[in-house]
Chain A
Amino acid sequence: MKLKTFKLGGVHPPENKKTADIPVVPVDIPKRVSVIMSQHLGVPAVPVVEKGDKVKVGTLIGEAKGFISANIHSPVSGTVFKVDGVTDATGYRKDAVIINVEGDDWEEKIDKSETLLKEIKLSPEEIIQRIKDSGIVGMGGAAFPTHVKYMFPEGKTADTLVINGVECEPYLTSDHRVMLEKPDEILVGVSIMMKAGKVDRAKIGIETNKPDAINVLSEKAKDYPGIEVVPLKVQYPQGAEKQLIKALLNREIPSGKLPLDVGCIVNNIGTAFAIYEAVQKNKPLIERVVTLTGKGLKKGGNFLVRIGIPAKNLLEKLGEEIPENTGKMISGGPMMGKAINHLDIPVTKGTSGIVLMSEEESKRNIIQNCIRCSKCVSVCPMGLEPYLLEKLAEKDMFEECEKEAIVDCIECGSCSYTCPSSRQLLDHIRYGKQNVMRIMRERRQQ
């Protein structure tokens, strides 16, 4: 049988998923954690605690502000040390609540037990409210507030829930481990999401490089009506929502539209687990699984990390140092993640992994002239012309960029990855896209 995948473009970088067999271990809670208030897409949360306030695990410390925003809860118990700026992954300072840890005292309403609760008691509206209150965001990396996806605009309905278990980024294995270790919870989570979205079928897409996860989930999915596990051909960027919908349902989202316009809701595997915990156990999003990996590391590992714990604590837990020949540290996957300049940055809701790349791997080659080979065009999953967009953006020709649909770019980096002349395609395209989006925003405001 031919495996399903998306048709247009795509690349297959070396997978390097060396941590796939390592079980998730929790990281010890340090003496102090810094919880950044802008962990999600959209408006940063507003701190609702002050210096000296006592907080428990699960206490609301940041309140969502605006429609696209998410609540933030304390991942530890203790005293608020201060509300101040901390350096985030990009080196800029962001508002954060810094908490001195005292013990591990949880809010009473949270069910800490491991027992699996299958029965969904809440109504769809209550589920969405619970998701919103618990500060659930997309756990794939972009951290889009999840409740927004379930608040359908007038007249729109969904018929399929698409669950992203693809994890197409090289190196990362956090979703893979969650699928192996919490399959039942994920499936209950998916059922909850189906109820919330009022859909009767869900498709979980998993790439065939995770045969164990496919087996476990498809075996268990037999007990859950409407849920189907679909093995997919390994191809990057299959985890992007538009590509995933194309692969699973063969539906295409028109330019500028959303998955809901073709009747789909797309969520990540990690999000399904977070929703299970939020709805069944009343546990807000305070921890996530993070992969720490890299060729230079002896082992690497998958860790259950409370939000706000510095990334260096993962390395400590592993008992290793930063390898000497490390050339680049990346928060997220190597294709779409962001380079970070030190490991003191706190883990956020969107941190799917920390990858330590060797100098050799991370070195950029000498930029040469475009030889018009059109490889970038053939790998672009959105059907754009990266070589052209790069040139236009470089020359600040934003109007032309807009005509060439630069805003459709999903910033997957396939073009830069594949370019034989090592041109910095995505860097310039991203610059052009940001400016075009700014211009479009200004136009809307007028």
Chain B
Amino acid sequence: MNPVILYSVGVLALIAAGSAIILYFVAKKFKVDEDPRIGEVTEILPGANCGGCGFPGCSGFATALVKGADKGDISGLACPPGGNETMTAVGEFLGLTVEESAPTTAVVRCNGTKAKAPSKLTYEGPTKCAIAHTLFSGENSCPHGCLGLGDCVDACDFEAIYMDEETGLPVVIPDKCTSCGACVRACPRDIIEIRPRGRKDRRVWVACMNEEKGPIPMKNCKVTCIGCAKCFDVCPPVANAITMGNNLAFIDGDKCIACGKCIVVCPTTAILATFEPPKPKPKPVTEEKEASEVKK
């Protein structure tokens, strides 16, 4: 046999053996211990990488979960898109019990529709709320209202939010919403809030973020919260869910029992709900009032 071939094979074999030895020691020396559980927990998670948990992607969250499990506590960590099901599965795998958290959804806290808060000017700039917000108070002049340019729609990875052409406001589809909070971060006016979905999907919220005194916002919008505190007065003491601050009512979604009393008393219909509010007891006075309002 040609000695050149023999030499070549021999040299290559030596290099291979030498490299193998180096690699063996390097692998020993620089071994990274990755908990095999991290990979398995990642498998359980939905894999949407939405960041709703507050960690960079699902594997980041899995790492946090496994770390937490080592300390024996993963309370406070939750996967919004996966919900209780996923968290229970993760808990079972890690041998921990997970408290069930109430399902949540995003709600839009502005009801300044095109009809209720008519446009006073036309905006022709870029269709991006973040840009419009820095330029002016909005087409309807409300500095706290929805700009209607759809940054929240662009931010949603789950197609759970869309723009209603007629009202000019975003609409959340609760069944698709995973409460990941991307829309909340995208909105430059903090109009979108993550709230508990409520029992039997009954939830009530104040659809206004305006903090000015009553008459000022009323010039721009007919359905603004004027901070009259009527809702605060009728909220049953068992719930005591309403707080007043900055000329604005806020309903605590965890405390609210969805009785619907506040919806009826609100003079500007600024309180929205997912159900029909109880009809007020027929009183001649209110009927007259309603009649006169209809005439207007």
Known contacts being A90-B136, A339-B136, is A427 close to B125, with CB within 8 Å? Answer: yes
Known contacts being A91-B137, A91-B143, is A431 close to B130, with CB within 8 Å? Answer: yes
Is B134 at the interface (CB under 8 A from chain A)? yes
For window 206-250 of B, CB contacts with A under 8 Å fall at 212, 216
* A65 neighbours in B (Cβ, 8 Å): none
- Contact: B124 with A90, CB < 8 Å? no
Main secondary structure of the interface of A (DSSP, over half): mixed
Main secondary structure of the interface of B (DSSP, over half): loop
Is A434 at the interface (CB under 8 A from chain B)? yes
Given A92, A364, A424, A427, which contacts B143 in the complex, CB threshold below 8 Å?
A: A92
Known contacts being A424-B126, A427-B126, A428-B126, is A341 close to B134, with CB within 8 Å? Answer: no
Is A170 at the interface (CB under 8 A from chain B)? no
Is A296 at the interface (CB under 8 A from chain B)? no
* A424 neighbours in B (Cβ, 8 Å): 125-126
| Closest Cβ–Cβ distance, residue A94 to chain B (whole Å) | 11
Number of A residues contacting the other chain (C-beta, 8 Å)? 17
> What mask results when residues 16 to 60 of chain A are scored 1 for a CB within 8 Å of chain B, else 0?
000000000000000000000000000000000000000000000
* A363 neighbours in B (Cβ, 8 Å): 124
**A363 CA / B125 CA spacing, docked (Å):** 11
**A424 CA / B127 CA spacing, docked (Å):** 10
Of A338, A339, A430, most buried by chain B (CB within 10 Å of CB) is A339
- Contact: B137 with A92, CB < 8 Å? yes
Is B202 at the interface (CB under 8 A from chain A)? no
| Closest Cβ–Cβ distance, residue A231 to chain B (whole Å) | 36
| Closest Cβ–Cβ distance, residue B224 to chain A (whole Å) | 14
- Contact: B121 with A85, CB < 8 Å? no
Is B135 at the interface (CB under 8 A from chain A)? yes
Is A112 at the interface (CB under 8 A from chain B)? no
**A364 CA / B131 CA spacing, docked (Å):** 16
Given B124, B128, B212, which contacts A93 in the complex, CB threshold below 8 Å?
A: B212
**A85 CA / B121 CA spacing, docked (Å):** 22
Known contacts being A91-B136, A93-B212, is A341 close to B126, with CB within 8 Å? Answer: no
**A165 CA / B138 CA spacing, docked (Å):** 35
- Contact: B131 with A428, CB < 8 Å? yes
| Closest Cβ–Cβ distance, residue B133 to chain A (whole Å) | 10
| Closest Cβ–Cβ distance, residue A301 to chain B (whole Å) | 25
> What mask results when residues 337 to 353 of chain A are scored 1 for a CB within 8 Å of chain B, else 0?
01101000000000000
> What mask results when residues 362 to 382 of chain A are scored 1 for a CB within 8 Å of chain B, else 0?
011000000000000000000
For window 120-153 of B, CB contacts with A under 8 Å fall at 120-121, 124-126, 128, 130-131, 134-138, 141, 143
* B136 neighbours in A (Cβ, 8 Å): 90-91, 339, 341
| Closest Cβ–Cβ distance, residue B81 to chain A (whole Å) | 22
Of A92, A364, A434, most buried by chain B (CB within 10 Å of CB) is A92
* B126 neighbours in A (Cβ, 8 Å): 424, 427-428, 431
| Closest Cβ–Cβ distance, residue A302 to chain B (whole Å) | 27
Nearest neighbor of B143 in chain A, beta-carbon distance: A92
Nearest neighbor of B128 in chain A, beta-carbon distance: A431
> What mask results when residues 95 to 130 of chain B are scored 1 for a CB within 8 Å of chain A, else 0?
000000000000000000000000011001110101
Given A87, A91, A427, A430, which contacts B138 in the complex, CB threshold below 8 Å?
A: A91
| Closest Cβ–Cβ distance, residue B230 to chain A (whole Å) | 25
* A85 neighbours in B (Cβ, 8 Å): 212
**A430 CA / B121 CA spacing, docked (Å):** 22
Known contacts being A85-B212, A341-B120, A424-B125, is A431 close to B137, with CB within 8 Å? Answer: no
- Contact: B124 with A364, CB < 8 Å? yes
* A341 neighbours in B (Cβ, 8 Å): 120-121, 136-137, 141
| Closest Cβ–Cβ distance, residue A357 to chain B (whole Å) | 12
* A91 neighbours in B (Cβ, 8 Å): 136-138, 141, 143
**A431 CA / B134 CA spacing, docked (Å):** 8
For window 426-440 of A, CB contacts with B under 8 Å fall at 427-428, 430-431, 434
- Contact: B141 with A93, CB < 8 Å? no
* A92 neighbours in B (Cβ, 8 Å): 137, 143
**A341 CA / B134 CA spacing, docked (Å):** 15
- Contact: A434 with B125, CB < 8 Å? no
**A338 CA / B136 CA spacing, docked (Å):** 9
**A249 CA / B138 CA spacing, docked (Å):** 44
> What mask results when residues 67 to 110 of chain A are scored 1 for a CB within 8 Å of chain B, else 0?
00000000000000000010100111100000000000000000
Q: What are some 17 contacts across the A-B interface (CB < 8 A)?
A: A85-B212, A90-B135, A91-B138, A93-B143, A93-B212, A93-B216, A338-B135, A341-B120, A341-B136, A363-B124, A427-B125, A427-B131, A430-B131, A431-B126, A431-B128, A431-B131, A431-B134
Q: Apart from A85-B212, A90-B136, what 11 extra A-B contacts exist at CB < 8 Å?
A: A91-B138, A92-B137, A339-B135, A341-B120, A341-B136, A364-B124, A364-B125, A424-B125, A424-B126, A431-B128, A431-B134
Interface residues of A (CB under 8 A from B): 85, 87, 90-93, 338-339, 341, 363-364, 424, 427-428, 430-431, 434
Interface residues of B (CB under 8 A from A): 120-121, 124-126, 128, 130-131, 134-138, 141, 143, 212, 216
